[in-house]
Amino acid sequence: MDELAPDHKIPCGDASVPLLAASSMSPDAERSLHDVLDRLGPSVFAGLLDADGVLRYANNAALQSIGSTLEQVLGKRFDTTPWWQGCESSRRKLQEALASASRGEALRFDVRIATSGGHTIAMDFSLLPLYGPDGRVMWLIPSACDVSEREQAQRQLLLTRHAVEQANDALFLVGPDGAFQDANAAACRLLGLDRGQVLRMRVTDIDTQIDEKHWPQRWHQLCESGSLRLESSVRHNDGHEIPVDVSVSLVTSDGETFAYVCLDDLRERRTAQAKSDFLAAMSHEIRTPMNGVIGMIDVLARSRLKAHQLAMVDLIRESAFSLLGIIDDILDFSKIEAGRVEIENEPIVVADVVEKVCTMLSRLAEKQRVELTFFIDPAIPRKLLGDELRLRQVLINLINNAIKFSASTGKAGHVAVRAMLIARESGWVNAEFQVVDNGIGMTQETISRLFAPFAQADVSTTRRFGGTGLGLAITHNLVELMGGSIAVQSGPGKGSTFSLRLPFVLDPNLEKYSAAERAEKEDSGFALLVPMPEPRKAPSREQARREGRLILVAEDNDINQKVIEQQITLLGYAADLTVNGEEALARWQSGDYALLLTDLHMPVMDGYQLTAAIRAAESPERHIPIIALTANALKGESERCRAAGMDDFMCRPTPLAELQAMLESWLPKVSNQKAVQADLMAGEQAQTNFDTRQDITVPVDINVLRKLVGNDAKVVISFLRQFRASAAKITSEIGDARADGDFRKAAIGAHNLKASARSVGALKLAEHCEDIEQAGAVSAAEDLAKAWGCFQSEMELVDAYLAGIFAASDEQQA
């Protein structure tokens, strides 16, 4: 047996492991070598190759890393084994190394090798040749040590270095003698020096408040406290002094202690504070006399004045408020520039804010002969957290501009304000506010500089419409401070649309607006896009609860919510609306309801799960009738509902008469029901503003909606307007989902729109929605594409038809 000599070592990171080499390899010597390789540890992979690079042995650590046995890899060329799969660059390095090692060259380099988990790990790899008695290479010893932690540390060091270099604050590393060991780019800029110059200096060369004599004392204080915070000043290269806030903390590396110093330039902060103090004084000094002027104008207007004198007082008052508005703009913009505007996060009711702003500006619109309308998406939760003051300020500015620029076109001006729910996630919602006008419009060049301070379309705009050009700059800044975005679409003579998107935090004690709360709007001289009549002989919620006829509704679709709310109100009942089964279950547990109307398909908890939960929890004496509401008219649905524990079943669209019969069969009779029935019969006989002879070929059969909500023309128009807005939004969502390949989202959108379409009489559109829903449910791309094309064609017909109805209605009202 040949003797082995310890003349080689296997590198492993920064260490090495002795390896016995042989001029030839007997079986006993080979077994001894295998034992040595297996004892290298779990993080060292090693093996034995012949001179041609064929694997003759691999230790246990290497085999375990790929989940293989020795028999599975034995006899293969080393570069074809699983360790190199998926690591092409490392494989090429290995192939070159095998050729070099076979010629007697020892190599060491970094590689990445594959593991059984499908991952790659960083390794310090070595390839050592072993020689035979003839001086030729007989064996190759591959070894690899896991250096993933080292690589991660190097990467973290690189990231830290990058972060330090990109920091806005000046950062220094200082030794015990006060010499700078390192400095970032901001530090060099602060001092007006390059890095080489800084690293040849000491703290005492730049700090105006300490000299070399006192530096040891300062270092001793730092070592005792561990950190220091003070204000000082440093010398710039040109000689001027810069006030700085100094933060110092100790760091230790390899037994050495250093000071980590951060300098914050105080010049901007002091300038901002001075500007803020000046603005506060300006605001007080200007507003005090202005309030006196405006207050005395009001007193003067109430005195005995002649007609021409009153006209002069009105002119003075209008000029005073115009001046006050300009002053407010300048002060607001200056506050924003100084960074003194803080955004609040307080409870806010978006619907109330929009309505109050429109109510406030309605007199201005009426005076300018501009029709001002607004629509509030009922899906927007009632209780949110946001900044009501800033939202109101932004809306006032946008609507005020829209009125101003719509009043000067020579045609009837119109401004529409819309608040729509865009997204709702856990803990927050995203709402879009649109202000649409039919005013003079703008060119793309004007739009490009619209949000710049003091910018207006041109000089003639200032002369013609007045203003400072600060309003939109303020609006843009406030929107960004609130975490939102603002965009504009316009064209010369085509009007403008300003779209504002803002995030709001959901109030932890969230309660949804009921449709009735959203709909009970007073006529303030402008049109509401979602008007509702006063409930006819409907009881209050508390009265209905006392009489044992309060209804609970579980429905997630906005249009269906409004329909069922209107129907219940017309029939003389009161109801609480919830948006899913979970919310309805919580209401049932804490309330006293006589009847539950529930949709079957809802997010979070559907109608079947809701019924099961109630039936499991209720006592025999507290049994609540549960009636299913669904757009699914398939055979067997009614039986499935009853098997789930529901008491009855109604298919949508539900005519008013059928709903009345259903409620009367499950709720106690009340004295005012006959009066309600008489009102309904009278309404059916009344003349409406629509042609009652509907052609069966029209895209929307309005009689379907009339049977649901009654013959009141304003109510019908209201529902149709909301359907059109909601349909446009859902259509866009379905299109986006289809483009993204999100079949489930497309199916959900189609399902929601299907129910709304059936309710308003867009029956053909509902059929196409069902086709999209079915195709999306099974991820049938070809069927979905076909259904989408048919849907788009029908949607265009429906939209055009509704536009004609609205135009005719507007003409009749005019």
Phi, psi of 511 (to 5 degrees): -130, 140
pLDDT of residue 578: 92
Whether 529 shows a pLDDT value over 80: the answer reads no
Task: Give me the amino acid identity at 530.
Answer: V
What is the spatial distance between Cα 142 and Cα 126, in angstroms, rounded to a whole number? 6
605 in the same domain as 676: yes
In DSSP notation, 36-104 reads HHHTT-TTEEEEEEETT-BEEEE-HHHHHHHT--HHHHTTSBGGGSGGGTT-HHHHHHHHHHHHHHTTT
pLDDT of residue 461: 43
399 in the same domain as 350: yes
Whether 457 shows a pLDDT value over 80: the answer reads no
Phi, psi of 74 (to 5 degrees): -65, 135
Per-residue pLDDT, averaged over 459-486, amounts to 67
CB 707 within 8 A of CB 656: yes
625 in the same domain as 563: yes
Residue 157 in domain: no
Which tens digits make up the pLDDT trace of 17-74? 444 444 456 677 677 777 778 777 777 888 999 999 999 999 988 888 888 888 999 9
Which residues lie across from 505 on neighbouring strands? Answer: 385, 428
- For residue 251, give the nearest of 175, 163, 149 by alpha carbon: 175
CATH number for the domain spanning 33: value is 3.30.450.20
CA pseudo-torsion sign 736, 737, 738, 740: positive
What mean pLDDT is reported for the chain? 78
569 in the same domain as 478: no
Range with lowest mean pLDDT among 132-141, 513-522, 654-663: 513-522
DSSP label of 202: B
Whether 86 shows a pLDDT value over 80: the answer reads no
Strand order in the sheet with 626-630: 574-578, 550-554, 595-599, 626-630, 648-651
Segment (H or E) for 138: strand 137-146
Task: Give me the amino acid identity at 616.
Answer: A
Q: Which residues contact 460 (CB under 8 A, 6 or more apart)?
A: none
Which tens digits make up the pLDDT trace of 134-174? 888 888 999 998 888 887 777 777 777 777 777 788 899 99
489-518 per-residue burial string, b: 16 or more CB within 10 A, e: under 16: ebeeeebbbbbbbbbbebbeeeebbbbbbb
Lookup: tokens for 343: 């955004």
Q: Convert 304-362 into a string of H (helix), E (strand) and C (coil).
A: CCCHHHHHHHHHHHHHHHHHHHHHHHHHHHHHHHCCCCCCCCEEECHHHHHHHHHHHHH
Reply yes or no: is the peptide bond before residue 653 cis, omega within 30 of 0.
yes
Lookup: tokens for 661: 């019969």
663 in the same domain as 593: yes
Segment (H or E) for 612: helix 607-617
- For residue 600, give the nearest of 581, 585, 586 by alpha carbon: 581
Question: Domain boundary at 640, 668, 684, which?
Answer: 684
672 in the same domain as 540: yes
Instruction: Rounding to the nearest 10 degrees, give the CA dihedral for residues 464, 469, 472, 475.
Output: -130
Which tens digits make up the pLDDT trace of 284-319? 566 657 656 766 776 677 677 887 788 788 777 766
The beta-strand segments (E) located in 426-528 are: 428-437, 485-490, 496-506, 527-528
Name the residue with higher pLDDT: 507 or 383: 383
Task: Give me the amino acid identity at 567.
Answer: Q
Whether 581 shows a pLDDT value over 60: the answer reads yes
Structural domain count of the chain: 6
Which residues lie across from 263 on neighbouring strands? Answer: 170, 246
- Please report how many Cα atoms fall inside a 13 Å half-sphere around the Cα of residue 597, on the Cβ side: 31
541 in the same domain as 481: no
Lookup: tokens for 767: 């059929």
Residue 602 in domain: yes
Give me the long-range contacts of 246-249 (CB less than 8 A, separation at least 24).
248/222
Name the residue with higher pLDDT: 489 or 24: 489
What is the spatial distance between Cα 629 and Cα 555, in angstroms, rounded to a whole number? 9
538 in the same domain as 493: no
pLDDT of residue 281: 64
CATH number for the domain spanning 793: value is 1.20.120.160
Whether 554 shows a pLDDT value over 90: the answer reads yes
723 in the same domain as 792: yes
Phi, psi of 734 (to 5 degrees): -65, -45
Which tens digits make up the pLDDT trace of 230-254? 888 999 998 898 999 998 988 887 7
At residue 174's C-alpha, the angle toward residues 168 and 177, to 5°, is 155
Name the residue with higher pLDDT: 603 or 609: 609
315 in the same domain as 233: no
Residue 527 in domain: no
564 in the same domain as 444: no
Whether 599 shows a pLDDT value over 70: the answer reads yes
How many other C-beta atoms can be found within 10 angstroms of the C-beta atom of residue 133? 10
Question: Domain boundary at 684, 703, 733, which?
Answer: 684
What is the spatial distance between Cα 635 and Cα 647, in angstroms, rounded to a whole number? 17
Whether 508 shows a pLDDT value over 60: the answer reads yes
At 178 the three-state DSSP class reads coil
Lookup: tokens for 811: 């003409």
Residue 105 in domain: yes
Location of structure tokens 């398939």: 634
Residue 466 in domain: yes
Residue 119 in domain: yes
- For residue 128, give the nearest of 146, 140, 136, 144 by alpha carbon: 140
461 in the same domain as 597: no
Per-residue pLDDT, averaged over 344-359, amounts to 87
Range with lowest mean pLDDT among 209-218, 266-275, 342-351, 523-532: 523-532
How many other C-beta atoms can be found within 10 angstroms of the C-beta atom of residue 756? 26
Q: Which residues contact 645 (CB under 8 A, 6 or more apart)?
A: 611, 612, 614, 615, 626
Location of structure tokens 């006529």: 523
- Please report how many Cα atoms fall inside a 13 Å half-sphere around the Cα of residue 256, on the Cβ side: 11
What is the C-alpha end-to-end distance of the chain, expressed in Å? 115
Lookup: tokens for 57: 């042995």
Distances (CA, A) of 646 to 207, 517, 583, 626, 774: 82, 29, 18, 5, 26
Whether 127 shows a pLDDT value over 70: the answer reads yes
Residue 113 in domain: yes
Q: Model's pTM, two decimal places?
A: 0.35
Residue span of the structural domain in which 720 resides? 713-813
- Please report how many Cα atoms fall inside a 13 Å half-sphere around the Cα of residue 77, on the Cβ side: 9
- For residue 169, give the nearest of 268, 271, 265 by alpha carbon: 265
Question: Domain boundary at 242, 265, 288, which?
Answer: 265
Of the pLDDT bands very low, low, confident and very high (cuts 50, 70, 90), residue 76 is very high
Lookup: tokens for 689: 């503003």
Rounded to the nearest 10 degrees, what angle do helices 388-406 and 350-367 cross at?
Answer: 30
Alpha-helical (H) ranges within 520-599 are 541-546, 558-570, 581-590
Residue 361 in domain: yes
The beta-strand segments (E) located in 646-787 are: 648-651
Taking phi over 0 as left and psi of -120 to 50 as alpha, with beta for the rest, 761 belongs to left
